[in-house]
Amino acid sequence: MIREIKKEQAWQVRHEVMWPDRELDYVKLKKDDQGLHYGLFDGDELVSVISLFLHESEGQFRKFATRIPWQGQGHGSRLLSFIMTEAERHGLRRLYCNARIEKTAFYERFDLRATGESFQKGGKDYIIMERYWSG
């Protein structure tokens, strides 16, 4: 089941999966109060999270994380498919993310394309990927 969650729930999974060696504050975003946070549950267990930030006709999803025991089982794919549907429902023309370089093939399965714009953060390499919808 996928449902909207509180930002604090997302923080816990983000921290555990993405940056366990950093302080919890490292995974918090300044604009988390403005985002829509979603979680995929396996029974009562929160196993995957993603945050969606909307601005006019664009959106960005950030801090997409699936707990390690549940990775490779399709949970993240289901959650990202849900976000794609939400983007269309909100009438977005463009959806983008900062993808870790090693995850680009995963995002390409959802019709996200690399922009060529890349950067480093926390010792990891990222590339901006995006998808467009016609208005």
**Residues 99-125 pLDDT 10s:** 999 999 999 999 999 998 999 988 889
pLDDT value of residue 135: 58
CA distances from 41 to 25, 48, 55, 61, 76 (A): 24, 7, 27, 19, 11
Average pLDDT over residues 1-8: 97
**Maximum Cα interatomic distance, the chain, rounded to a whole number of Å:** 43
Fold designation for 2-97: Aminopeptidase (3.40.630)
- The percentage of the chain sitting over the pLDDT mark of 90, rounded to a whole number, equals 93
- pTM of the predicted structure, to 2 decimals: 0.92
**Residues 38-75 pLDDT 10s:** 999 999 999 999 999 999 999 999 999 999 999 999 99
